[in-house]
């Protein structure tokens, strides 16, 4: 059988997965699946297993995580997606972990860290007599290193940074991504304890503990800290929260150690130096027709679960690990993470609303079945191959049940593999039933969800006019003459209230060994109170963590579903600014600044109306760096003389990154445009916005000085980040399952 793929899926595979010689693709999708099946089945004595593995992938009933599809049977052979590394409280430990991070990310993995062991800012450093710089400073260091790592051209570096809520630097950590251009390669989460949550509910203080001395060094009012977390999440979606005590209550191997951190999307809590490999069952394929109704094919679902558990267990043994410590810990616990995708498609096919008691109960029933069947499959493997080495002292030993794997189930984000499978992502509702995508020459192409189109054609409702109307909002909720039963079942992420998002997450968490990756979507007008309520509900319903996203609030702006733009009057469009003439005499200053391309000299000149021009010089004449810097300066000068505010030019240039960022004077210089922005920003500070000695100064919401207290912060952040384009294909990124991903090409900020 030949795998049935959409055009978009084939593009994603050719771009990221299929083997190439140079730039030429030399592997078909069928070849890739056969390569993977053969490699994972090499441990088996019976050749039937290779065919079983191939069949469930070829049918798009199951797919493993991206590193397995990319690397199985190829030279790299690094098949795990998730890693957690320890960070010890010493300079040697911090940079040993940074080195190991580079090795992991080079091989295609994502890394999670707890920075909670590091002593706080201004704490004593006995070996030097100095003071510590604290966890956030080292997060910036790790972030810069990730910028420099190119993961074989297939996957970007991604990190999770976690800090305990009782760490003395917790307030700095909560606000460390207030500027969305800072620490861009990290998701961040606060590790919240039950003691803290009870203090929030009781409006009490709680102690801050120095991890070096294990002694209390102060206290904070819990409710104020919680409100700050809520405020920052409202502004830009971060930090998320994980319930650390709850995670460790379900730690299957407490005798081995305490769980401190998760992988980048939060669904895989892991011990230090542990990895996990993931895979997902496509629930959209687990339905069959009985008479005139669609029903769940429980028999086939059970068969696929058993095969997938064996597949993922084999991955552990054929995997090539980037570090011996990781191989040792992974072999000892043999954690796997079997999850699902296509859940929203299944609900639509069955006619069950996502945001209903029936939908939540069905999610619970499906995951209970997968969990129980998966545990039975792991127990059978333990009879055949032996239990995981750390079985003695584990919760499984206490239950008297030998298991091959310490954990079996995880609900992971499935951004790219769900594109390949042609289904909805993870347990998320559909983002849009139809949406408009910009293509070349400002043309627009309407993309339609296949399930939606099929249902419209079955009910004889399909028309181009209807699709056009739906694409304006992505939803059918606003359509007056549309069937009410379809309005109930064809819901999208923003049709679902946050409470239903959390209830669905909690239902799946009830029968998931590890954790559930899910984004709780809020409309733009949502309040901080709305987010606070969801955090409290997630805690009360038994979730292990929660990630929120308010529309229009952060990098990775949600995909635009409308395609109409406000039009300016014809007269306004005709009035185009023209630059004023350059005066014969100008006054200014020249600043020398180091960049990754060499030393850059930036000259800023002003006339009586303010800043009027920027000149740059770098290296020898004729070099690329010089050409790009000169082009940037010329365009900046043109804009300045055309009346553009200098601060707006700073905002556009600051934060642009090149492959060679460097540090100068304690500040990172990301590129030549970034250097020009930094010099221009300093010039404005000392001379006023107009650059002519006026009293107007740089607003406090400028890039490097944003603070949560700034009343304009949220507005300016939204302006800077709206409709962010995918850096690979130019599509618009979607925020789901805790990560910004591209629904067109599979690009992800978390992998």
Indicate the pairing of strand 519-522 with strand 545-550. Answer: parallel
Q: CA of 276: how far to CAs of 84, 191, 271, 427, 514, in Å?
A: 9, 21, 10, 20, 11
Other beta carbons within 10 angstroms of residue 99's beta carbon come to 10
Phi/psi for 699 (5° steps) reads: -60, 155
| Cα–Cα distance measured from residue 672 to residue 462, given in angstroms and rounded to the nearest whole number | 52
Write the CB contacts of 290 (distance below 8 Å, at least 6 apart in sequence): none
Catalytic residue flag (residue 258): no
Residue from 52, 82, 176, 265 carrying the catalytic annotation: 265
The C-alpha atoms of residue 392 and residue 136 are separated, in whole angstroms, by 38
In SS3 terms, 193-251 reads as: CHHHHHHHHHCCEEEEEECCCCEEEEEEEHHHHHHHHHHHHHHHCCCEEEEHHHHHHCC
User: Which of 273, 276, 300 has the alpha carbon at shortest distance from 68?
Assistant: 276
- The separation between CA 715 and the C-alpha centre of its own chain, rounded to angstroms, equals 23
CA nearest neighbour of 338 among 295, 296, 369, 300: 369
Residue tagged active-site, from 263, 282, 514, 687 = 263
Q: Hey, how many other C-beta atoms are within 10 angstroms of the C-beta on 598?
A: 14
52 is catalytic: no
Q: Cα 472 to chain center, whole Å? A: 26
**Of 77, 31, 79, nearest in space to 57 by CA:** 31
Q: Is 194 a catalytic residue?
A: no
- Cα-Cα-Cα-Cα dihedral of 494, 495, 499, 500, to 10°? -120
H-assigned helices in 267-356:
298-318, 324-333, 343-350
HEC-encoded secondary structure of 274-285: EEEEEEEEEHHH
Q: Is the peptide bond before 239 cis (omega within 30 degrees of 0)?
A: yes
SS (H, E, C) 462-496: CCHHHHHHHHHHCCCCCCCCCCHHHHHHCCECCCC
Strand 293-296 to 186-192 pairing: unpaired
Which one of 267, 428, 557, 718 is the catalytic residue?
Answer: 267
Q: CA 99, CA 93: separation in Å to the nearest integer?
A: 10
Strands 287-290 and 336-341, bridge-based pairing? unpaired
- CA dist 455 and 466 (Å) reads 13
Assigned token pair, 441:
């020459």
Which backbone phi and psi does 692 adopt, to 5 degrees?
Answer: -125, 25
User: 3-state class of 725 per DSSP?
Assistant: strand
Q: What is the CA 55 to chain-centroid distance, rounded? A: 30
Contact 626, 600 (CB under 8 A): no
Q: Are 517 and 266 in contact (CB under 8 A)?
A: yes
Q: Which residues are catalytic?
A: 263, 265, 267
């Amino acid at each position: 059988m030949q795998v049935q793929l959409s055009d978009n899926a084939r593009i994603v595979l050719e771009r990221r997965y299929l083997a190439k010689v140079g730039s030429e693709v030399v592997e078909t999708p069928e070849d890739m699946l056969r390569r993977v099946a053969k490699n994972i089945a090499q441990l088996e004595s019976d050749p039937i297993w290779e065919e079983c593995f191939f069949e469930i992938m070829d049918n798009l009933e199951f797919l493993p995580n991206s590193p397995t599809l990319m690397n199985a049977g190829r030279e790299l052979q690094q098949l795990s997606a998730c890693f957690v590394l320890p960070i010890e409280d010493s300079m040697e430990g911090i940079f040993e972990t940074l080195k190991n991070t580079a090795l992991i990310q080079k091989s295609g993995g994502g890394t999670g860290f707890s920075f909670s062991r590091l002593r706080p800012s201004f704490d004593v450093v006995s070996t030097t007599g100095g003071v510590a710089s604290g966890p956030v400073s080292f997060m910036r260091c790790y972030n810069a290193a990730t910028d420099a790592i190119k993961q074989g051209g297939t996957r970007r570096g991604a990190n999770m940074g976690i800090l305990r809520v009782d760490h003395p630097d917790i307030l700095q950590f909560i606000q460390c991504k207030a500027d969305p251009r800072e620490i861009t390669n990290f998701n961040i989460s606060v590790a919240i304890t039950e003691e803290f949550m009870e203090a929030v509910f009781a409006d009490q203080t709680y102690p801050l503990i120095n991890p070096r001395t294990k002694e209390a060094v102060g206290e904070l009012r819990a409710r104020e800290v919680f409100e700050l977390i809520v405020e920052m999440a409202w502004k830009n979606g971060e930090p998320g929260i994980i319930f650390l005590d709850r995670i460790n209550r379900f730690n299957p191997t407490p005798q081995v150690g305490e769980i401190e951190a998760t992988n980048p999307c939060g669904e895989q809590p892991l011990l230090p130096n542990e990895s996990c490999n993931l895979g997902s069952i496509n629930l959209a394929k687990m339905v069959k027709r009985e008479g005139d109704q669609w029903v769940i094919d429980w028999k086939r679902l059970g068969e696929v679960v058993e095969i997938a558990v064996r597949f993922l267990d084999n991955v552990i043994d054929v995997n090539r690990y980037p570090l011996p410590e990781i191989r040792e810990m992974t072999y000892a616990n043999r954690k796997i993470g079997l999850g699902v995708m296509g859940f929203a498609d299944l609900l639509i096919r069955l006619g069950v609303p996502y945001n209903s008691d029936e939908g939540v109960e069905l999610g619970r029933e499906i995951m209970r079945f997968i969990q129980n069947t998966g545990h039975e499959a792991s127990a059978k493997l333990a009879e055949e191959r032996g239990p995981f080495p750390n079985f003695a002292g584990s919760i499984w030993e206490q239950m008297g049940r030998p298991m091959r794997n310490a954990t079996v189930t995880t609900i992971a984000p499935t951004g790219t593999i769900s594109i390949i499978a042609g289904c909805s992502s993870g347990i998320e509702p559909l983002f849009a039933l139809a949406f408009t995508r910009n293509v070349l020459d400002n043309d627009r192409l309407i993309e339609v969800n296949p399930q939606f189109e099929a249902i419209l054609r079955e009910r004889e409702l399909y028309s181009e006019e209807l699709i056009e109307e739906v694409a304006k909002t992505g939803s059918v909720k606003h359509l007056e003459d549309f069937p009410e039963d379809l309005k109930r079942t064809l819901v999208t992420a923003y049709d679902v209230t946050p409470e239903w998002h959390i209830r669905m997450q909690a239902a799946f968490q009830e029968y998931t060994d590890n954790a559930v990756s899910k984004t709780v979507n809020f409309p733009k007008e949502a309040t901080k109170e709305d987010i606070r309520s969801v955090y409290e509900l997630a805690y009360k319903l038994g979730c292990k963590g929660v990630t929120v996203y308010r529309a229009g609030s952060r990098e990775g702006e949600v995909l635009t579903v409308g395609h109409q733009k406000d039009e300016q009057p014809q007269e306004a469009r005709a009035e185009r600014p023209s630059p004023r003439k350059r005066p014969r005499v100008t006054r200014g200053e020249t600043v020398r600044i180091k960049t990754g391309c060499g030393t850059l000299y930036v000259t800023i000149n002003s006339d009586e109306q303010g800043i009027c021009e920027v000149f740059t010089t770098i290296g020898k004449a004729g070099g690329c760096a010089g050409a790009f810097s000169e082009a940037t300066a010329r365009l900046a000068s043109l804009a300045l003389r055309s009346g553009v505010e200098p601060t707006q030019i700073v905002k556009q240039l600051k934060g642009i990154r090149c492959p060679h960022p460097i540090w100068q004077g304690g500040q990172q210089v990301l590129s030549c445009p970034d250097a020009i922005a930094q010099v221009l920003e300093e010039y404005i500070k000392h001379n006023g916005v107009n650059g002519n000695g006026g009293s107007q100064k740089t607003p406090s919401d400028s890039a490097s000085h944003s603070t949560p207290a700034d009343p304009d912060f949220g507005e300016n952040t939204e302006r800077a980040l709206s409709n962010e384009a995918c850096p690979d294909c130019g599509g618009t990124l979607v925020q789901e399952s805790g990560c910004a991903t591209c629904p067109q090409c599979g690009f992800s900020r978390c992998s």
